[in-house]
Amino acid sequence: MLGIILTFISGIILLWVVYQKPKYFYPLLIFTTITTGGLMIPTAVNFKGYTLSYCFADEYILICLLIGAIFAILSRKVPLLKEKTNLLMRIYIRIFILMCIYMIIQAIRGIIVWHDLRIIRWVIYYLILALLSFILSTRDFFVPSVKKILLYIFLSSFIYFILYLGHGFLFEILGKTSRFSLDVQGNFWSGSSYAVFPIVIAFLAVIFLINSQNYYKNLGWILWIIAIFIILYYDSRMGFWTVFAFIIFSISANRFRKTILLLLFYLVIFVFYYGQYYYLSKINKYSYVKLRLTEHLVNVINFGGNKVNLDKLGNALFLKKIQDNKSNIFNIWFIEPNKFDLDRTLNIQAAFMAVQEKPETFLFGYGIHSSHYIMVPYLKQLYSKYISWAKMPKIVWTMGFPALLVDTGWIGILFLLFCFFLCAYGIFNHTKWKFKTYRYILLLSLGIIFLWQFVTNILDFILFYFLIMPDGLIMQLAKNKQNDSF
pLDDT at res. 180: 66
476 and 371, same structural domain?
yes
Per-residue pLDDT at 53: 66
> Considering the domain boundaries, does residue 325 fall inside one?
no
Question: How far is residue 402 from each of residues 142, 375, 397, measured CA to CA in Å?
Answer: 38, 9, 10
Would 36 be classed as within a structural domain?
yes
Number of domains in the chain: 3
pLDDT of residue 430: 86
What is the pLDDT at residue 339?
35
Do 149 and 8 lie in one domain? The reply is: no
**Is the domain of 29 the same as that of 172?**
no
Same domain, 271 and 149: yes
CB atoms within 10 A of CB 329: 11
Q: Which residues of the chain have pLDDT under 70?
A: 1-3, 42-53, 82-84, 175-178, 180-184, 186-187, 276-343, 386-391, 481-486
Establish if 90 belongs to a structural domain.
Answer: no
Are 216 and 362 contained in the same domain? Answer: no
Domain hosting residue 380, numbered range: 99-138+343-486
Torsions phi, psi for 195 (to 5 deg): -70, -25
Pair (151, 104) in one structural domain: no
> Residue 396: what pLDDT?
87
Instruction: Note the pLDDT of residue 42.
Output: 65
pLDDT of residue 323: 34
In the prediction, which pLDDT does 112 show? Answer: 96
3-state secondary structure 430-459: HCCCCCCCCHHHHHHHHHHHHHHHHCCCCC
Is 165 part of any domain?
yes
Domain termination residue (choose one: 340, 362, 392): 340
